[in-house]
């Protein structure tokens, strides 16, 4: 066997030994979609992906044998529920090497997604997070907001990025060990960026992979009643927790101007202002401002932390 062939064989072996787990949180109101998602995870090529389902303040629906489960008495929100799911794989997910976060109304249309993730993580030991491409199952289109970079006109282009899509992603468990888990107090909105900034500051990289696809119906985030409130509150918390002091007002002023430019309705603007004030008046959690070298890194990646 040639040296090149031996190296390829070794890479394949490393990838197959890389263990994946998938965390799905559910409110119990999408049993058919959840079943289809689980089937798509179990249809993946290569070693089986371990499954964990968290019932977030709702009863567990019927599930196949072998799925790790927990039924929470109250809704802990998206990041809180996902953190519980991580722990179903041991402290900080140590039973596996990386955890997939999948929305319960999503589906993996391809059977090679797990293989592509294993290959990506084993090929680059510094890769901490992979963000998938979300596509509508009927049209195949990817919404601009689902491409986690400013230059989002070509969703089929993979690239390094500075954040990720929470319900269509994979995170190396070592990231949780040295950067922490998702901020449970956020409940919903910007929890991914909080983790992404901490991961980047710890030296990890984040990739958007257009070839790893999650089918998900096209929806608007504003369908959630608390959307505008949480977006504003959590944006303030995000800045207070993670940014060097001189950048906090720059970042928040930029987002206030962008929000106004989008001309929200009177009700939405009122909810946004209420959330913004709450973000200043309430504890934001532990403050760990990123290093200036991380600010420069974000800038080189095309998204300085003032926008």
- Same domain for 80 and 156? yes
Average pLDDT across the chain, whole number:
94
- Same domain for 228 and 215? no
pLDDT at residue number 46: 97
Q: Is 271 helix (H, G, I), strand (E, B) or coil?
A: helix
- Same domain for 49 and 185? yes
- What does the pLDDT look like over 168-203, one tens digit per residue? 999 999 999 999 999 999 999 999 999 999 999 999
Total domains in the chain come to: 2
- What does the pLDDT look like over 141-153, one tens digit per residue? 999 999 999 888 8
Q: Is residue 286 part of a domain?
A: yes
> Of 183, 201, 219, which residue sits at a domain end?
219
- Same domain for 15 and 55? yes
pLDDT at residue number 222: 56
Residue 225: pLDDT over 80? no
CB contact set of 203 (below 8 Å; sequence gap of 6+) = 126
pLDDT at residue number 141: 93
Answering whether pTM is above 0.85, one says yes
Q: Which domain holds residue 50?
A: 3-219
> Which residue is associated with the tokens 């009927």?
138
CB atoms within 10 A of CB 86: 24
Whole-number Å distance between alpha carbons of 113 and 61: 26
Q: What is the edge-to-edge ordering of all strands in the sheet holding 68-72? A: 68-72, 50-56, 20-26, 98-102, 168-172, 127-135, 205-215, 159-160
Q: Is residue 305 part of a domain?
A: no
For residue 196, give the nearest of 182, 210, 214, 211 by alpha carbon.
Answer: 182
- Same domain for 209 and 235? no
What radius of gyration do the chain's Cα atoms show? 19
- Same domain for 102 and 50? yes
- What does the pLDDT look like over 103-124, one tens digit per residue? 999 999 999 999 999 999 999 9
Q: Is residue 307 part of a domain?
A: no
For residue 108, give the nearest of 163, 53, 40 by alpha carbon.
Answer: 40
Label residue 37 by pLDDT band (50, 70, 90). very high
- What does the pLDDT look like over 238-272, one tens digit per residue? 999 999 999 999 999 999 999 999 888 899 999 99
Q: Pull the structure tokens for residue 86.
A: 């991580």
Q: pLDDT higher for 275 or 12?
A: 275
> Of 182, 204, 219, which residue sits at a domain end?
219
Q: Is residue 306 part of a domain?
A: no
């Amino acid at each position: 066997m040639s040296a090149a062939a031996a190296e390829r064989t070794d890479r394949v072996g490393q990838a197959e030994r890389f263990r994946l787990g998938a965390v799905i949180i559910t409110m119990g109101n999408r049993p058919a979609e959840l079943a289809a998602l689980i089937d798509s995870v179990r249809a993946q090529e290569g070693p089986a992906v371990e499954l964990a389902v968290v019932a977030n303040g709702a009863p567990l629906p019927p599930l196949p044998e072998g799925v790790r489960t927990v039924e929470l008495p109250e809704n802990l929100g998206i990041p809180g529920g996902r953190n519980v799911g991580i722990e179903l794989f041991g402290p900080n997910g140590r039973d596996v090497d990386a955890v997939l976060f999948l929305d319960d109304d999503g589906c993996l249309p391809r059977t090679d997604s797990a293989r592509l993730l294993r290959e990506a993580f084993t090929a680059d030991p510094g890769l901490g997070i992979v963000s998938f491409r979300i596509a509508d199952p009927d049209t195949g289109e990817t919404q601009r907001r689902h491409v986690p970079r400013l230059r989002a006109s070509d969703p089929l282009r993979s690239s390094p990025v500075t954040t990720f899509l929470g319900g269509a992603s994979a995170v190396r468990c070592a990231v949780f060990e040295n950067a922490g888990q998702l901020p449970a107090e956020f409940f919903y909105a910007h929890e991914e960026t909080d983790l992404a900034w901490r991961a980047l500051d710890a030296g990890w990289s984040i990739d958007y992979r257009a070839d790893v696809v999650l089918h998900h119906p096209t929806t608007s985030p504003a369908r959630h009643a608390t959307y505008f409130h949480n977006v504003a509150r959590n944006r303030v918390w995000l800045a207070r927790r993670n940014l060097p002091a001189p950048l906090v007002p720059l970042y928040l002023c930029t987002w206030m101007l962008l929000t106004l430019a989008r001309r929200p309705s009177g009700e939405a603007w009122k909810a946004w202002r209420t959330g913004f004030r709450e973000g200043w008046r309430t504890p934001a959690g532990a403050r760990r401002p990123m290093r200036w070298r991380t600010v420069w890194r974000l800038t080189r990646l095309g998204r300085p932390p003032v926008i």
